[in-house]
């Protein structure tokens, strides 16, 4: 149960921001649908209205059919609800994966939004080709977006290679290509890393990232080292150190993250994430700071009740960039209750409170979700 486990659903804006890269055209059509395990869910998201209470919401309908982890399809539709009971599709996301052979599978993701005529049009298309060659797994991702003539064209191509050196060690290389001034794809960014299982309780990941300078030289801009120590069943400690290149060209420790999770004998999980940073305001680096300061703390607790209900609470404390000397204060609280209803059905209720302009914690979003699984 890590930070992402507590905040299970990203907002549409955050989701879109995380997938803004480009992969290669897949030459084979997906197979026809076949029977498999199906799951559907319907969520209602409500945000505050201009007056007291919550205003019109968003309906999120999700459907997935799963044969195995290489053959599946998933569709999510976001619909705006009007006061008179009508609905309008604001965005639709679909994902399909199909197996080509025992050593190859492909994935296609599509995001569609209404055009000027109100018809759904593809705004982003992501294609992936995964191939296993001996001890090496190669992945090519292409990210397409429409041009001014609505023709889909690749904007970025990403090649990723994972080489399994031994059962305890693997190496990763990720290269990012973008069109140059002549329209040809050229190397723009490269990341190289390794993951080593030092012992049964200790795993170390290291990576370095380089960006292409105007001169054409690939310059080192970031090093990341992550150390995870298993402390027991359901318990661990993860420490991440981020070094970035400063104005003088030297690497400088800019962020340190410490995550811990524990689980008691009665099944209660507790999680904490501490972020120490040189830059309290992420867009305005403090070049005069000589050390790190605590800028965010995330704490969470999850407990399972005898009837199968899961209750969780996540609290985020942050430093106000306008008043960094004021220390941490609660900026967001997320509470969630997941209750089994029988016959493969689950009911989820989630409430998010954030601090308003007056400094008070108020409800900023409510989510009611129903999940149903079938054969």
Q: For residue 285, give the H/E element and its range.
A: none
Q: Domain span at residue 210? A: 34-83+148-374
Instruction: Say if 79 falls within a structural domain.
Output: yes
In angstroms, the CA 316 to CA 271 distance is 12
pLDDT digits (tens, 9 = 90+) for 125-161: 999 999 999 999 999 999 999 988 888 889 999 999 9
Instruction: Say if 73 falls within a structural domain.
Output: yes
Q: Which CATH number covers residue 270? A: 2.40.160
Over residues 318-325, mean pLDDT: 78
Any bridge partners for residue 304, and if so which? 310
Number of domains in the chain: 1
Instruction: Say if 16 falls within a structural domain.
Output: no
Mean pLDDT (the chain) is 84
Instruction: Say if 122 falls within a structural domain.
Output: no
DSSP E strands in the chain: the ranges are 37-48, 54-68, 71-81, 87-101, 104-114, 120-133, 136-146, 152-166, 169-179, 185-197, 202-212, 218-232, 235-245, 251-263, 269-277, 293-304, 310-319, 328-342, 345-355, 361-374
In angstroms, the CA 134 to CA 161 distance is 12
Instruction: Say if 12 falls within a structural domain.
Output: no
Instruction: Say if 209 falls within a structural domain.
Output: yes
pLDDT digits (tens, 9 = 90+) for 82-124: 666 678 889 999 999 999 999 999 999 999 999 888 899 999 9
Task: Indicate whether this model's pTM tops 0.95.
Answer: no
In angstroms, the CA 186 to CA 356 distance is 45
């Amino acid at each position: 149960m890590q930070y992402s486990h507590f905040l299970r659903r990203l907002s549409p804006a955050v989701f879109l921001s995380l997938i803004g890269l480009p992969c290669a055209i897949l030459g084979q059509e997906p197979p026809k649908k076949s029977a498999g395990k199906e799951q559907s869910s319907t969520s209602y998201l409500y945000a505050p209205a201009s007056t007291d209470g919550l205003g019109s919401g968003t309906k999120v309908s999700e459907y997935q059919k799963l044969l195995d982890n290489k053959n599946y399809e998933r569709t999510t539709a976001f619909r705006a609800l009007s006061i008179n009971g009508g609905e309008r599709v604001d965005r639709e996301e679909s994902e399909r994966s199909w197996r080509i052979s025992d050593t190859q599978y492909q994935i296609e993701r599509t995001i569609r939004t209404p055009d000027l005529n109100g018809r759904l049009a593809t705004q982003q298309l992501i294609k992936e080709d995964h191939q296993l060659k001996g001890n090496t797994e190669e992945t090519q991702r292409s990210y397409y977006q429409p041009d001014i003539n609505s023709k889909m064209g690749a904007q970025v191509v990403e090649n990723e290679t994972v080489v399994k050196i031994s059962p305890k060690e693997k190496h990763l290389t990720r290269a990012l290509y973008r069109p140059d001034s002549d329209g040809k794809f050229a190397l723009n960014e490269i990341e190289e890393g390794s993951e080593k299982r030092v012992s049964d309780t200790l795993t170390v990941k290291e990576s370095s990232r380089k960006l292409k300078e105007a001169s054409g030289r690939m310059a080192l801009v970031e090093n990341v080292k992550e150390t995870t120590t298993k402390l027991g069943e359901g318990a661990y400690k993860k420490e991440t150190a981020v070094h970035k290149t400063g104005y003088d060209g030297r690497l400088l420790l800019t962020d340190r993250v410490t995550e811990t999770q524990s689980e008691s004998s009665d099944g209660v999980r507790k999680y904490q994430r501490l972020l120490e940073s040189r830059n309290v305001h992420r867009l305005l680096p403090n070049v005069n700071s000589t050390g790190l300061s605590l800028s965010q703390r995330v704490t969470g607790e999850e407990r399972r009740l005898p009837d199968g209900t899961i209750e969780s609470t996540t609290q985020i404390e942050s430093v106000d960039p306008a008043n960094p000397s004021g220390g941490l204060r609660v900026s967001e609280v997320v509470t969630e209750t997941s209750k089994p209803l029988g016959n493969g059905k689950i009911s989820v209720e989630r409430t998010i409170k954030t601090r308003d302009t007056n400094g008070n914690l108020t409800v900023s979003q409510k989510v009611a979700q129903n999940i149903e699984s079938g054969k």
